[in-house]
Amino acid sequence: MYDPLYHQSPGCGQDYPNSYWAQVSGSSPKNLGALQTDLEVDVAIIGAGYTGMSCALHLAEEHGIKATLLEANQSAWGCSGRNAGFILKTSGRKSFSQMANQWGEQAMRATYQEMAEGVERVKGLIARGIDCDMQPAGYLKVAHKPNKLNELRAIAQLQKDMFGYDIDVLSKDDVRQQFMDDRNAHGAIRYTDGFGLNPLKLAWGYQNLATSAGADIYCSTPVLQSRQSSTGFELITPSALVKAKKVVLATNGYTPQGFMPAVNNRYLPVLSQIIVTEPMSEQQLSDSGIKTNQVVMDTRALKYYYRKLPDNRILFGGRGAISGKSAQDPYYANRLLSVLKSSFPALESLNIAYAWSGWICMSLDDIPHIYQNAEQNLFYSMGYCGAGVSFSAQAGKRLADKVAGAQVPNIPLYTSPLPTFPFAPLRRVGQWGYFQYGKIKDKYF
């Protein structure tokens, strides 16, 4: 599997992975195919996922600027078409209390507002005619150990006090009687505004909106090399040269090492693994006590997450392999199935129907950065830390604002570059160490 830390390019024209989403979503929207002739453009966007397509859409509709998107493989081929489809009012891994302590309450509240706007932006775009199999709203964060319920109660109280957030606190019995008989759940808190959807259909919906607004999307067009010129950038693709005054990097966890000096050694691609099971029978559904399609995530450092899909399959996800070389090892999918069955013993005979993995992008400081390198007219949004499905739409809007020279909120997400990882060549060693720490923490603390 393509590994951004070791491979120079994600490929050219590769098909979608054999995922559940690729099988049930139908045909992708038309694009302009592989670029064959040289172009001169005002704005080139590298990457046709959520971020890039949202940026192109908002450039066109709010600023009257036409963008050209260059995608190595297929639109939403990366994480935008491989994720679990959780729409949550968050991004990154930094808690709001940590933000308040580090940045002050005003910046924390402004950051919360941006993340809340991200959810509303996704819902607004869907309302424009995107059929993406939205499921009923509700997000359960479950305590994987009894002592974690007190931590969740504290989080719920803090967010009620900070934002007036409506959060239910559920006992173990509440969870089992009202939602699902998860034997690994020892209570939960429930948010009323998270929901699940088909992430690939969502991305294709963005694509249709962006192209209708005038954006050009070229697939099977990897940018093999970039270099600065007197007027901006020259982007070298297999069959053509693109001269762009401004460049937006929207490749997140799929960005090859060394591709752009401005982000080199400033991110860590981490594999996330997802399985989707066979459909559950009515007996299995009844015996497992699963009464909800709401999205579920636990309190582990190495988190597991799941949801029941519209056709009564279970999507279950967690961390994957350390490197792309090991991504296809069935151990990682089977490990997820084993944890699923420990939560729901009635599903012991259930099998995996689909298994795939994809790269998320971790930042050193656990927050995304939407940044402009003013000297180069280079713009990027990276570091969603596995929680970017909703916020990437807002990030694309803010990228568009930056490209157009419009004002954006004065908060660290938008004013500071990605920090550099210390001892960057050893990032994967550090990742392995964190996974070992996480195993111990999740079991004993």
In a domain, 437, yes or no: no
Pair (9, 107) in one structural domain: yes
**What CATH number should be reported for the domain holding residue 166?**
3.30.9.10
Residue 175 domain flag: yes
CA pair distance 19, 138, nearest whole angstrom: 25
Residues with Cβ within 8 Å of residue 369, at least 6 apart in sequence: 363, 380, 381, 382, 383, 413, 416, 417, 418
Residue 276 lies in a domain: yes
Per-residue pLDDT of the chain (445 residues; tens, 9 = 90+): 999 999 999 999 999 999 999 999 999 999 999 999 999 999 999 999 999 999 999 999 999 999 999 999 999 999 999 999 999 999 999 999 999 999 999 999 999 999 999 999 999 999 999 999 999 999 999 999 999 999 999 999 999 999 998 899 999 999 999 999 999 999 999 999 999 999 999 999 999 999 999 999 999 999 999 999 999 999 999 999 999 999 999 999 999 999 999 999 999 999 999 999 999 999 999 999 999 999 999 999 999 999 999 999 999 999 999 999 999 999 999 999 999 999 999 999 999 999 999 999 999 999 999 999 877 799 999 999 999 999 999 999 999 999 999 999 999 999 999 999 999 999 999 999 999 999 999 999 8
**Rounded to whole angstroms, how far apart are CA atoms 116 and 230?**
40
Number of structural domains, the chain? 2
Which pLDDT tens digit goes with each residue over 181-236?
Answer: 999 999 999 999 999 999 999 999 999 999 999 999 999 999 999 999 999 999 99
Residue 321 lies in a domain: yes
- In terms of domains, do 24 and 170 share one? no
Domain of residue 314, residue span: 139-192+269-362
* In a shared domain, residues 246 and 286: no
pLDDT score, position 106: 96
Say yes or no: 325 and 384 in one domain.
Answer: no
Comparing CA positions, the residue from 31, 29, 34 lying closest to residue 13 is 34
Quote the CA–CA distance of 215 and 209 in Å, as a whole number: 9
Predicted pLDDT at 11:
97
124 and 55, same domain (yes or no): yes
**Residue with token string 């151990």:** 331
Q: Are residues 144 and 26 in the same domain?
A: no
DSSP 3-state of 67: strand
Q: Residue 330: inside a domain, yes or no? A: yes
pLDDT for 359-368, tens place per residue?
Answer: 999 999 999 9
Q: Are residue 248 and residue 163 in the same domain, yes or no?
A: no
Among the candidates 341, 362, 383, a domain finishes at: 362
* Whether residue 187 is found in the same domain as residue 122: no
| Per-position DSSP letters for 143-207, written without gaps between them | -SSTTHHHHHHHHHHHHHHHH---EEEE-HHHHHHHT---TT---EEEESS-EE--HHHHHHHHH
Is residue 266 within 8 A of residue 363, CB to CB? The reply is: yes
Structural domain includes residue 101 = yes
Which CATH number covers residue 232?
3.50.50.60
Same domain, 156 and 117: no
What predicted TM-score, i.e. pTM, was given to this entire model?
A: 0.97
Residues 243, 108: one domain? yes
Tell me: do 150 and 126 sit in the same domain. no
Instruction: Answer whether residue 431 is part of any domain.
Output: no
- Kindly state the tokens that stand for 426: 């050893």
Whether residue 223 is found in the same domain as residue 347? no
Kindly state whether residue 337 falls inside one of the protein's structural domains.
Answer: yes
Query: What is the Cα gyration radius of the chain?
Result: 21
